[in-house]
Amino acid sequence: MISVVSESRFPELKINLEESQDRTKRMEEAANTVKEKKQKTFCINVKPWMEQYGVQVLRDLTQGMLLADYQQIRFPKKEREPLQIELTGVEEAFRKEAESFVQEGEILAESICFVRDLVNLPANYLRPADFVNRVTEWMEGTGVEIECLDKTELKKQGLNALLAVGESSEFPPYLMILRYRNCPESKELLGLAGKGVTCDTGGYCLKSPSSMMGMKGDMAGGAAVAGAIYALAKNKVKTNVTGFIPLCENRVSPGGLLPGDVITAYGGKTIEVVNTDAEGRLILADAVAYGAKKEKVTKIVDIATLTGAVVRALGFGTAGVLASDDEMWNLLERAAECSGEWFWRLPITREYEKRIESDIADVKNSGGAECGAITAGLFIRLFTEQIPWLHLDIAGTAWVEHPIFSYQTKYATGFGVTTLYELAKKCI
């Protein structure tokens, strides 16, 4: 809990203040204070920070401190001791605005920590239905409308790509839809589609044991969508957003998807499956097509732990991006400037598009090892109905063995929540 007070009885700590710090660095300095001092109760004089960066800096400091204090889920459960921080040095004329920025930072941090919890959970604690139940319970009282398409409804509506992957497991698939409406005067409706594979073995194109260990977090994109929409609703942001989270497991089973199979996705496009471990793009194909065709979103962003190729190219601090046009890329750049998260735009050329052409279907689900991050995104683009689109590959940034930034902790990072939140604020 962080509060703005006139005076504090708590011991005072100082956050290192330097000139010309960007948001990432400001959050890191706040996080360093929490990690180095290891105190749970203290106060901070924020007057020097506000004088240099304005009252909005309180959101950065709040978020940095709270994220640094995140405590890993333990089995058996271990109670978490929360921070109690008081902020001093705020003039009365700025108090209301300061409290607003602190609240925004607290809600964003809560959202990111919830996402970290989901991603860190073992797969046997987070089946697709468990994801639905946890997110539904968390969203209570926010005003977010929730619809869940179960296996029967998925078949009825023709979301066959999601079914093709999800039917490999005894734990059935779902499409979770989250609707947040708070700007009726705007015609803009942003769609956010997040990959929700709660367990990924690779299917018949089986993963190695070492790479399978981290696959409990293959739903980080879906969790980020839920986290961003929760933060938008709690902060009552003026925008309109619909989230699409295709949820399933990718297992080996007698009736599972096989290399060489051809499936018909939502909307009628046919897909030659050449790699059952390229399942994330299959379920996202149905999700983005459903968003464009059925829900009539005006822009769409997909976010997924999609490829090892993006990790090899960009590492663990920067996510790879494909954009339908410069306008969408510029929108993301502005959002990232506010979020402090790092992105790099990848090129789109005819060479890459040709790699996913199929001899027997409309498209194949893998273009091979070369330029794999790009061809994976281009596959999803084919199902967007040509509306403005962004593809965020967070395979490297969603999970870290060794934190890149000091406000991160080992394993799940909650990457993408703040950027999606900022994108939605700008899409009105």
Catalytic site residue 38? Answer: no
Find out whether the peptide bond into 76 is cis, omega within 30 degrees of 0.
yes
The pair of structure tokens assigned to 397 is 């940034």
- From the list 35, 207, 269, 425, the catalytic residue is 207
φ, ψ at 426 (rounded to 5°): -90, -10
410 labelled catalytic: no
| Upper half-sphere CA count for residue 141 (Cβ side, 13 Å) | 4
Rounded distance between C-alpha atoms, residue 373 and residue 221, angstroms: 15
Helices 220-234 + 417-426 axis angle, to 10: 50
Choose among 253, 249, 162: nearest CA to 197.
249
Q: Which of 59, 134, 251, 281 is catalytic?
A: 281
How far is the CA of 204 from the CAs of 57, 277, 295, 320, in angstroms? Answer: 50, 8, 33, 27
Question: Three-class SS of residue 139?
Answer: helix
- Is 61 in contact with 34 (CB distance < 8 Å)? no
CB–CB of 278/257 below 8 Å? no
The catalytic site residues sit at 207, 281
